[in-house]
């Protein structure tokens, strides 16, 4: 395994999209940011330098960082921000991640413009569990707001309502042909007839699960979240914010131009009903059509298209890529995921019933501390967090019923963590609720990949649903969309000592408090202990 060095310089840089110019926070002047390349098991050292005007942290999404939470990045969970004019050298320890991951800012809403792909090759070159592709292409789905992104954040947190939806979705930083002033910069992928391409797709969108498809072409999914999957043929992709999907595209249609397109899936309010496009151009001598063929995308409210796609993902589960799902679990949790309301402090809230929107897990709305939980844990600083995050909701009700009385579910504020014993096996049932309305929640765990062993609609039934669990070839993920008014069960082994955030990857839900933190204690023996902090941890 190698050590690879990269340099990230954060600057405020002017960018023009949708006919207007604004300054955005970017890495190395690039939007989307640079792709990091590595081989399985490598260590990346990224020297992050903040030359911009705002605080920032960087997270390596899906990298498990064995025993080293110090570089993980979520603000006030594992570190304080890298302040303007400061540096932080971050170490990214890859272990068995293979395929595609990504990195992004993990403070405020900076990840809207601060993100990029991480490509992790197999140890033996081209040793893929599928035919070697002719070329590999990252495709990052993103979003663009004409207004300043932190202003969007401040505004909705102030007024208690939903955030303004973005002005465009993007494919590799470009809105595409159907948006004003965008046509000439549309992302184009040139292909050769008969060749196969590996597309490494990242959903870097802030608030939406996305649908993506390509005119006339179906695709073959081969991986997700840096883990191989059984091959799945599909006419479209459904991808959660935070998730990555690797798929093969065979250029097997009549040489021409074809559109690829993406738009939001949303089962509740607040989606942007616009479509971003890019173009596949075959090489060759032909007259291109004046307007290429457009693909069919599942409609905005097609819940089945979203959950069925995700529900088809399976681990390879063969002798080269075995499945290691915990069979006997020592810790079981049921975490409710709720959108909530709280009375308005000043009579000017624009949320439902003129109240403020917020979110919770097990009735606790997470409140960020002012020094990092990791620092408090390591230095035994008291009164930063409580260790009593509940294992179960405080009381049971019909979580997914219509018209849940709104007084029933007023969450409490808290900075609460849950302690896990080293090497305990953990099962979490995520239960969606229909409090202020149901919505899908893509849940993301730091420091671990987990097996998704089951899911369903309605209330989780502890007597019957566990018998439906897939313990044979469940997919190994780091982000999984819990279906609207439904449940999802994950399992993992807590063998990574450290401080690890668990949260919804829809950023407005995260900003409303849909997060909690696990602390995995040290085990016996030096390989079971957290490593010491680096000398240049950003000060709190």
Helix or strand (DSSP H, E) at 287: none
3-state secondary structure of 79: strand
The verdict on 504 binding Cu ion (CB under 5 A) reads: yes
Site for Cu ion in 363-392 (CB under 5 A): none
The verdict on 508 binding ligand C2O (CB under 6 A) reads: no
Give the range of 3-11, 177-185, 337-345, 497-505 binding ligand C2O by CB under 6 A.
497-505
CB of 488 to Cu ion, least distance (A): 12
Q: Give yes or no for a contact between 513 and 453, defined as CB atoms under 8 angstroms apart.
A: no
The verdict on 441 binding Cu ion (CB under 5 A) reads: yes
Q: Which residue, 305 or 484, has its beta carbon nearer to Cu ion?
A: 484
Give the range of 207-215, 246-254, 483-491, 498-506 binding ligand C2O by CB under 6 A.
498-506
For residue 191, CA distances in Å to 214, 284, 358, 430 come to 13, 10, 46, 42
The verdict on 61 binding ligand C2O (CB under 6 A) reads: yes
> CB-based burial of residue 529 (10 Å sphere; 0-12 exposed, 13-18 middle, 19+ buried)?
middle
Between the two ends of the chain, the Cα-to-Cα distance in Å is 33
477 binds, among Cu ion, ligand C2O, none (CB under 5 to 8 A by kind): none
3-state secondary structure of 184: helix
d(CA 269, CA 423): 41
Sheet of strand 257-265, all strands in order from the earlier edge strand to the far edge: 188-191, 276-282, 257-265, 209-214, 237-239
The verdict on 295 binding ligand C2O (CB under 6 A) reads: no
CB of 77 to Cu ion, least distance (A): 17
For residue 29, CA distances in Å to 2, 8, 113, 468 come to 27, 10, 11, 49
Q: Under rule CB under 5 A, how many of the chain's residues touch Cu ion?
A: 4
**Could you say which of 325, 506, 516, 519 contacts Cu ion (CB under 5 A)?**
506
Closest residue to bound ligand C2O by CB: 61
CB of 499 to Cu ion, least distance (A): 22
Give the range of 121-129, 369-377, 476-484, 499-507 binding Cu ion by CB under 5 A.
499-507
Site for ligand C2O in 223-252 (CB under 6 A): 242
CB 337: neighbour CB atoms within 10 A? 25
**Could you say which of 501, 516, 519, 530 contacts ligand C2O (CB under 6 A)?**
501
**Could you say which of 104, 356, 418, 441 contacts ligand C2O (CB under 6 A)?**
104
Q: Which residue, 26 or 248, has its beta carbon nearer to ligand C2O?
A: 26
d(CA 306, CA 299): 10
CB of 359 to Cu ion, least distance (A): 7
**Could you say which of 104, 250, 418, 509 contacts Cu ion (CB under 5 A)?**
509
441 binds, among Cu ion, ligand C2O, none (CB under 5 to 8 A by kind): Cu ion
Q: Which residue, 334 or 501, has its beta carbon nearer to ligand C2O?
A: 501
106 binds, among ligand C2O, Cu ion, none (CB under 5 to 8 A by kind): ligand C2O
Site for ligand C2O in 439-468 (CB under 6 A): 444, 446
Helix or strand (DSSP H, E) at 167: none
CB of 103 to ligand C2O, least distance (A): 9
The verdict on 503 binding ligand C2O (CB under 6 A) reads: yes
- Residue 154 gets the label, from left (phi > 0), alpha (psi -120 to 50) or beta, of alpha
3-state SS string over 461-504? CCCCHHHHCCCCCCCEECEEEECCCEEEEEEEEECCCEEEEEEE
Q: Tokens 């070329």 — which residue?
A: 135
CB of 64 to ligand C2O, least distance (A): 13
d(CA 502, CA 384): 18
Strands (E), 354-459: 356-361, 364-366, 412-414, 417-420, 424-432, 441-445, 450-457
Give the range of 418-426, 450-458, 475-483, 503-511 binding Cu ion by CB under 5 A.
503-511
CB of 402 to ligand C2O, least distance (A): 32
Question: Which residues of this chain interact with Cu ion, rule CB under 5 A?
Answer: 441, 504, 506, 509
Question: Which residues of this chain interact with ligand C2O, rule CB under 6 A?
Answer: 59, 61, 74, 104, 106, 242, 444, 446, 501, 503, 505
């Amino acid at each position: 395994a190698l050590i690879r060095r990269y340099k990230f310089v954060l600057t405020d840089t002017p960018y023009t999209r949708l006919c207007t110019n604004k300054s955005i926070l970017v890495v190395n002047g690039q939007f989307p940011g640079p792709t990091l390349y590595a081989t399985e098991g490598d260590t990346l050292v990224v020297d992050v330098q903040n030359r911009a005007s705002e605080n920032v942290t960087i997270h390596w999404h899906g990298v498990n960082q064995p025993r080293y939470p110090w570089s993980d990045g979520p603000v006030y969970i594992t570190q304080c921000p890298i302040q303007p004019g400061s540096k932080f050298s971050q170490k990214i320890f890859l272990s068995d991640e293979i395929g595609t991951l990504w990195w992004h800012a993990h403070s405020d809403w900076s990840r809207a413009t601060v993100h990029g792909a991480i490509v992790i090759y197999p140890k033996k070159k081209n040793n893929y569990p599928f035919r070697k592709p002719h070329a590999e292409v990252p495709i990052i789905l993103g979003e663009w707001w004409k207004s300043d992104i932190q202003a969007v954040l401040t505004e909705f947190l102030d007024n208690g309502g939903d955030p303004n939806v973005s002005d465009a979705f993007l494919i590799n930083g470009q809105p595409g042909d159907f948006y004003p002033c965008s046509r000439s910069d549309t992302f184009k992928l040139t292909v050769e007839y008969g060749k196969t391409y590996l597309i490494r797709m990242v959903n870097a969108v802030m608030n939406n699960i996305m649908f993506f498809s390509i005119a006339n072409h179906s695709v073959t999914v081969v991986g997700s979240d840096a883990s191989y999957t059984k091959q799945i043929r599909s006419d479209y992709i459904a991808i959660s914010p935070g998730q990555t999907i690797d798929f093969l595209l065979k250029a097997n249609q009549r040489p021409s131009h074809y559109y690829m397109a993406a738009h939001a899936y949303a089962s509740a309010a607040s989606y942007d009903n616009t479509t971003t496009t890019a173009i596949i151009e075959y090489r060759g001598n032909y007259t291109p059509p004046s307007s290429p063929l457009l693909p069919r995308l599942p409609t905005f409210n097609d819940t089945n298209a979203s959950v069925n796609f995700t529900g088809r993902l399976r681990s390879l589960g063969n002798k080269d890529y075995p499945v290691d799902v915990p069979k006997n679990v020592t810790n079981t949790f049921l975490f409710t995921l709720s959108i909530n309301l709280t009375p308005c402090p000043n009579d000017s809230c624009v949320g439902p019933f003129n109240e403020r929107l917020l979110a919770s897990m097990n009735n606790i709305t997470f409140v960020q501390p002012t020094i990092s939980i990791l620092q408090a844990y390591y230095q035994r600083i008291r009164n930063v967090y409580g260790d009593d995050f509940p294992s179960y909701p405080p009381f049971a009700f019909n979580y997914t019923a219509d018209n849940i009385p709104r007084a029933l579910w007023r969450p409490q504020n808290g900075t609460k963590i849950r302690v896990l014993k080293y090497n305990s096996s953990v099962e979490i049932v995520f239960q969606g609720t229909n409090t202020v309305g149901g919505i899908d929640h893509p849940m993301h765990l730091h420091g671990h990949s987990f097996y998704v062993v089951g899911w369903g609609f309605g209330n989780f039934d502890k007597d019957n649903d566990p018998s439906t669990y897939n313990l044979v070839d469940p997919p190994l993920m780091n982000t999984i969309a819990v279906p609207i008014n439904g449940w999802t069960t994950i399992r993992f082994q807590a063998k990574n000592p450290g401080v690890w955030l668990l949260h919804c990857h829809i950023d407005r839900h995260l900003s409303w408090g849909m997060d909690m933190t696990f602390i995995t204690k040290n085990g016996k023996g030096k390989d079971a202990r957290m490593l010491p902090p680096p000398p240049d941890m950003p000060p709190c």
